Amino acid sequence: MTPVRSIRSRTVVIASSNIDTDQIIPARFLTTTTKDGLGRNLFADWRYREDGAPNPDFVLNRAESHGAAILVAGPNFGCGSSREHAPWALLDHGIRAVISTEIADIFRGNSLKNGLVPVIVDAAAAKWLIEHPGVEVTIDVGAGRLELPNGSTAPFPLEAFARHCLMNGVDELGYLRSQLGDIERFEAAHA
C-alpha cells in the first residue's frame, strides 16, 4: 500500500444521507474477479442515463469535478453490503478520502485497508463543506486534522494503528502474520 500522509485536493459533494454501497457500485458490476476498472461504474445508476450516456446533472460528470480527490457526503456513508468493491471503485475513480459526519463500520474498515481515508468530522464542518462544494482542503493524516480554506480546522478521529498503517503504507496482513506464533499458541491451548 502506498503511504498516505496528507491529501490536498478540491472536494466533490454528494450531500445525500445513507449512501449505501449498492449506490456506490451496483451489484451487477460485482461479477469481476479482480479490482481493476471498477471506477467506470462508480455511482453507475446516478451517473449514467438509461441509454448509457453520462447524466449531465450528476455532480461527478460536471467539468469542475474532474480531478477532485475528496468526496464530501451526507451521514451514514457506505452503509449496506460489505462489498470492498465500493472503496475499490472510489479509488479507481481517483477519490482518496471521504468526509462525512458518520461512516458505516464495514465500509470504514475496508477503506482503511486500501488507503482510502475516512474522515469523520463534526456537523459544523460538514455543513460548511456541503455549502461550499469544490473548495480546496487539506487532510493531514498525521495530525488527524482537516484544514478548510476559511482558515478553520476540524479534527477527525483516527486510531493510532490505522494512522500508523496509512502513513507508513503498512499492510495489515504483514502485521497479522508477525503474530502467527501467538495464533499457534492460542490454537494449541484451545484444541
Cell numbers at residue 11, please?
A: 472536494
Query: Residue 184 corresponds to which cell in the numbers above?
Result: 499457534
**One of 51, 52, 53, 173 touching another protein (CB under 8 A):** 173
Q: Name the burial class of residue 142, with classes exposed (0-12), middle (13-18) and buried (19+) by CB atoms within 10 angstroms of its CB.
A: exposed
Q: Per-residue string for binding with another protein, 85-104, x by CB under 8 A? A: --x--------------x-x
Stretch that binds another protein, among 53-61, 68-76, 90-98, 143-151 (CB under 8 A): 68-76
Q: Which of 6, 10, 26, 55 binds another protein (CB under 8 A)?
A: 26
Please pick, from the candidates 2, 51, 151, 160, the single residue that binds another protein as defined by CB under 8 A: 160
Q: Which of residues 5-24 bind another protein (CB under 8 A)?
A: 15-18, 20, 22-23
Interaction of residue 27 with another protein, rule CB under 8 A: yes
User: H helices within the chain, ranges in order?
Assistant: 21-24, 44-47, 85-93, 105-112, 123-131, 160-168, 172-177, 180-190
